[in-house]
C-alpha cells in the first residue's frame, strides 16, 4: 500500500478483522486547523459497535497468547515496514489534521516506526528469569503472561507515536487491543490502523473504533470484558479512568499533563538555554505534555536571557505547517485556540506582562485557521494561573529566582511532575537538581521535551499514575508475572 495523493474520505472502524461502518450510520468530520477544511470523516460509533470490538478482542486473546512472542514480533516488523512505505502520506495527513509542521510530523512517524521495530525485537528477548530455589531439586523461574484485552485511549498531539508506544508492547507481550483514538487525530489514526491491518494480524487481535470520548472512551473504560487500560490525555479524564479501573480491580496506566519548568542558572550557557526554551516551549505550538512552560531564571542572568529569548522568538514563522519555511503551525483545534487565548488574557489580568507575541493572526490565509504567535510573559509569580495550569499552547512564563534553591522550590511548586530541565555548568548545581526535582524526566542542558524510545517515560504527582511507558518499562505494565516452581516427581 503506497498512497501518494491526498483525498478526503470516510474511514471505518476495524472490528474483528473487518472494516465496518457504525450502527449509528453517522460520521464525524475532522477539521484542518490551518484551513478549516474537512480532512476526512470517521465513524460516530455506538455502544453496540464498542461491544462488538471488545468481544472480538476477548475471543481472540487465547489464540494470540498461544502463538508465542517471537511470532507476534514478526507482525510488528511487517507493520513497521508498511508504515515506512507510507511515512510521507501519514505525516502529511497529520499536518493537515492537527497542524504540526511537516518536518515534525515526519519525525514523529519515523519515531513510530522505530518504536515498532524496538518492540518487534522484544519477540526474541527473554520472558522471565531463573531464580535459585532453596530446594536443590527444584527449578524456579518467572514467566511473563499477557493481561488479556487492553483498552488504548490516545490523544491528538502525537497521533502516531503515542498509540504505537502503547499498543506495540501490548501486542508483542500477547494482549489483544481495542484502540479509541482522539477524535481530532482520528483520520491519522485510521491510516496507522490501515498499516496494522495490512500486516495481517489474526482476527480480533487489533480493533480500532472512533467516536466520542464520553461515549466510546467511557464505555471502553467501563466495559466488563476489559482487563487493562492505558490512557494519555487530560487530568480530568485520567482521574475518571483511575476510579473506574480501581473499582473493578483492573490494571490502569495514565499519562497526563505537565507544567514543565526550565531552570537557567547564573553559570548556564545562555545561548544553549535560549535555543532549548524556544524548541521546548514552541515546537508543536507548545502542545506537548513535556513542553517547557515555566522558565525560572537566576536574577544575575535574567536580563541577558530575556533579551536573547525575545530576539529568537521574533524569528519564529507561524503558518500552515505544510508550507516550507513555517516553523510553528496553528493550535490543533478551535477549543485549543480558545484555551490558549483565554490563558493569555488571564495572564494579563493577573498582572503578568506580555513581552512578546500572544497575538491572534488575522488576514488572508490566517482567517481560516487557529493561529497565535508564540507568547512570552514576565513578572510572573508562582501562584498565577499561567504558572500553575497546563495551557497546552505556545505560552512561556518567565519567573525570576534569587538563587538555585529558590528556583528548585519554585519548579516543584505545582501539582504536576512530568519533566524538568536545568541549564548549568556547575556540577554541584546539577546534582542538587537531580536529587531535589519532583519529576519523572530530568534533563540537564537539554530541553524539557524529548525522551528516547528505549528509555522509561512517565511522570510523578498528578502527571501520571506512577507506571512508566516505553523501553523495557512497558513490560511491567502490559504483563503479569507468574512464578513457576517445578519439582521432579
Give the residue numbers marked as catalytic: 255, 289
Characterize the bridge pairing of strands 395-401 and 375-378: parallel
Binding mask 134-173 for ligand NDP (x = CB under 6 A): -------------------xxxxx----------------
x/- mask, ligand NDP, residues 300-339, rule CB under 6 A, reads ---------------------------------------x
At residue 297, φ and ψ (nearest 5 deg) are -115, 135
217 lies in the binding site for ligand NDP (CB under 6 A): yes
User: Which ranges of 20-68 would DSSP assign to H, the alpha helix?
Assistant: 47-66
Query: Burial letters for 436-448: b for 16+ Cβ neighbours within 10 Å, e otherwise?
Result: ebbbbbbbeebbb
Q: In angstroms, give the least distance from the CB of 235 to ligand NDP.
A: 7
Q: Of the listed pieces 48-56, 94-102, 188-196, 206-214, which binds ligand NDP according to CB under 6 A?
A: 206-214
* DSSP H stretches of helix in 173-269: 186-198, 218-221, 235-248
Out of 107, 202, 213, 450, which residue is the one contacting ligand NDP (CB under 6 A)?
213
For ligand NDP, the binding residue among 82, 221, 276, 399 (CB under 6 A) is: 221
Residue with cell 484542518: 32
Containing 28, the helix (H) or strand (E) segment is strand 27-31
Binders in 225-264 for ligand NDP, by CB under 6 A:
232-234, 237, 240, 255-257
* Dihedral of the alpha carbons of 456, 459, 463, 464, in degrees to the nearest 10: 60
Shortest reach from residue 393's CB to ligand NDP, in Å: 8
C-alpha cell at 467: 507506571
Helix (H) or strand (E) holding 95: helix 87-98
User: Looking only at residues 174 through 203 of this chain, which bind ligand NDP when binding is defined by CB under 6 A?
Assistant: 180-184
Q: Are 73 and 65 in contact (CB under 8 A)?
A: no
Q: Is 392 in the site for ligand NDP (CB under 6 A)?
A: yes
Binding residue for ligand NDP (CB under 6 A) from 193, 289, 420, 437? Answer: 289
Q: How near is the Cβ of 309 to ligand NDP at its closest, in Å?
A: 23
Query: 99: closest CA among 320, 428, 252, 358?
Result: 320
Binding mask 80-119 for ligand NDP (x = CB under 6 A): ----------------------------------------
Taking the least distance from each CB to ligand NDP, the nearer of 265 and 339 is 339
Residue 297: CB minimum distance to ligand NDP, A: 25
| Nearby residues of 120 by Cβ (< 8 Å), 6 or more positions away | 73, 74, 75, 76, 77, 80, 168, 172
User: Phi and psi (nearest 5°) for 397?
Assistant: -110, 125
Distance CA 410, CA 407 (A): 5
Give the one residue of 49, 390, 447, 469 binding ligand NDP; rule: CB under 6 A: 390
Q: Give me the residues that bind ligand NDP (CB under 6 A), please.
A: 153-157, 180-184, 212-214, 217-218, 221, 232-234, 237, 240, 255-257, 289, 339, 390, 392
Amino acid at each position: 500500500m503506497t498512497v501518494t495523493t491526498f483525498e478526503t474520505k470516510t474511514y471505518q472502524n476495524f472490528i474483528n478483522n473487518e472494516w465496518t461502518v457504525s450502527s449509528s450510520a453517522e460520521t464525524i468530520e475532522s477539521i484542518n486547523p490551518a484551513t478549516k477544511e474537512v480532512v476526512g470523516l470517521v465513524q460516530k460509533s455506538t455502544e453496540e459497535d464498542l461491544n462488538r470490538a471488545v468481544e472480538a478482542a476477548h475471543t481472540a486473546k487465547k489464540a494470540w497468547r498461544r502463538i508465542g512472542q517471537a511470532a507476534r514480533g514478526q507482525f510488528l516488523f511487517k507493520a513497521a515496514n508498511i508504515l515506512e512505505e507510507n511515512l510521507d502520506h501519514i505525516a502529511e495527513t497529520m499536518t493537515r489534521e492537527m497542524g504540526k509542521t511537516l518536518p515534525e510530523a515526519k519525525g514523529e512517524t519515523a519515531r513510530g516506526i522505530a518504536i515498532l521495530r524496538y518492540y518487534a525485537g522484544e519477540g526474541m528477548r527473554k520472558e522471565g528469569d531463573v531464580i535459585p530455589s532453596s530446594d536443590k531439586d527444584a527449578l524456579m523461574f518467572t514467566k511473563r503472561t499477557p493481561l488479556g484485552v487492553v483498552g488504548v485511549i490516545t490523544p491528538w498531539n502525537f497521533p502516531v507515536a503515542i498509540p504505537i508506544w502503547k499498543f506495540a508492547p501490548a501486542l508483542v507481550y500477547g494482549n489483544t487491543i481495542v484502540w479509541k483514538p482522539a477524535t481530532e487525530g482520528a483520520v491519522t489514526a485510521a491510516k496507522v490502523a490501515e498499516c496494522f491491518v495490512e500486516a495481517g494480524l489474526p482476527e480480533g487481535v487489533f480493533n480500532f473504533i472512533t467516536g466520542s470520548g464520553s461515549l466510546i472512551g467511557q464505555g471502553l473504560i467501563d466495559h466488563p470484558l476489559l482487563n487493562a487500560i492505558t490512557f494519555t490525555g487530560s487530568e480530568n479524564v485520567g482521574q475518571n479512568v483511575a476510579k473506574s479501573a480501581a473499582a473493578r480491580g483492573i490494571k490502569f496506566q495514565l499519562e497526563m499533563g505537565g507544567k514543565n519548568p526550565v531552570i537557567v542558572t547564573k553559570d548556564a550557557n545562555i545561548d544553549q538555554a535560549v535555543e532549548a526554551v524556544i524548541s521546548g516551549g514552541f515546537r508543536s505550538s507548545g502542545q506537548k505534555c513535556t513542553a517547557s512552560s515555566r522558565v525560572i531564571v537566576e536574577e544575575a542572568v535574567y536580563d541577558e536571557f530575556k533579551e536573547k529569548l525575545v530576539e529568537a522568538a521574533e524569528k519564529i514563522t507561524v503558518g500552515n505547517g505544510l508550507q516550507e519555511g513555517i516553523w510553528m503551525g496553528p493550535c490543533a483545534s478551535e477549543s485549543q485556540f480558545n484555551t490558549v487565548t483565554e490563558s493569555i488574557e488571564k495572564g494579563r489580568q493577573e498582572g503578568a506582562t506580555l513581552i512578546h507575541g500572544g497575538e491572534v493572526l488575522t488576514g488572508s490565509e490566517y482567517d481560516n485557521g487557529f493561529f497565535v504567535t508564540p507568547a512570552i510573559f514576565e513578572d510572573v509569580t508562582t501562584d498565577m494561573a499561567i504558572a500553575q495550569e497546563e495551557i497546552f499552547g505556545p505560552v512561556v512564563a518567565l519567573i525570576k529566582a534569587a538563587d538555585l534553591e529558590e528556583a528548585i522550590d519554585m519548579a516543584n511548586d505545582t501539582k504536576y511532575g512530568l519533566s524538568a530541565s536545568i541549564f548549568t555548568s556547575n556540577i554541584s548545581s546539577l546534582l542538587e537538581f537531580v536529587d531535589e526535582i519532583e519529576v519523572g524526566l530530568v534533563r540537564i542542558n537539554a530541553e524539557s521535551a524529548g525522551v528516547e524510545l528505549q528509555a522509561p517515560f512517565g511522570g510523578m504527582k498528578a502527571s501520571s499514575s506512577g507506571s512508566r511507558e516505553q523501553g523495557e518499562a512497558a513490560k511491567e505494565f502490559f504483563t503479569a508475572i507468574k512464578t513457576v516452581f517445578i519439582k521432579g516427581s
